[in-house]
Amino acid sequence: MNNYRISNEAVLNKTKINNNGSINKSGANRTVGNVNGPSFRDVLDKINKGGELKFSKHATQRLETRNIKLSDTDVKKINSAVDKAQEKGVNEALIMMGNKAFIVNVNNRTVITAASDDQLKENVFTNIDGAVII
């Protein structure tokens, strides 16, 4: 087993230590990627807040079979409710909008299922840790 000593200079300058113990400084200070594009923080914020709302295959089937129609305004309201749930640390949310209910995985911003009128009567919602009423 080889023992390698890494100097502080090598660590600070991002110098690469090869398997044979030699030091490779080529590319140590190179920038990777497009420096003129969005920052990592901007991309992360977009993912974490205000990202695009998705509908699972199951939810899409429920919307169709239960004749639930959603307008662009409705989707924006659900998206806003997901943002609020995320701010509170909710993982699985029940979102109530008028006579419609949606179970949403907040982290993935994915609607898992949908129900309306008749399906809501005497129904129990499980595996949720928060609710948003809009």
**What tens digit of pLDDT does each residue of 26-69 get?**
554 444 555 577 776 666 555 555 578 999 999 999 999 999 99
pLDDT at position 10: 46
The whole-angstrom separation of Cα 120 and Cα 75 is 20
pLDDT (mean) for 85-102: 96
Number of neighbouring beta carbons within 10 Å of residue 12: 8
> Do 66 and 116 form a contact (C-beta atoms < 8 A)?
yes
> Do 11 and 25 form a contact (C-beta atoms < 8 A)?
no
pTM score over 0.85 = no
pLDDT at position 11: 46
> Do 96 and 132 form a contact (C-beta atoms < 8 A)?
yes
pLDDT at position 118: 81
pLDDT at position 70: 94
Domains of the chain, by residue range, sit at 8-44, 52-133
pLDDT (mean) for 74-100: 96
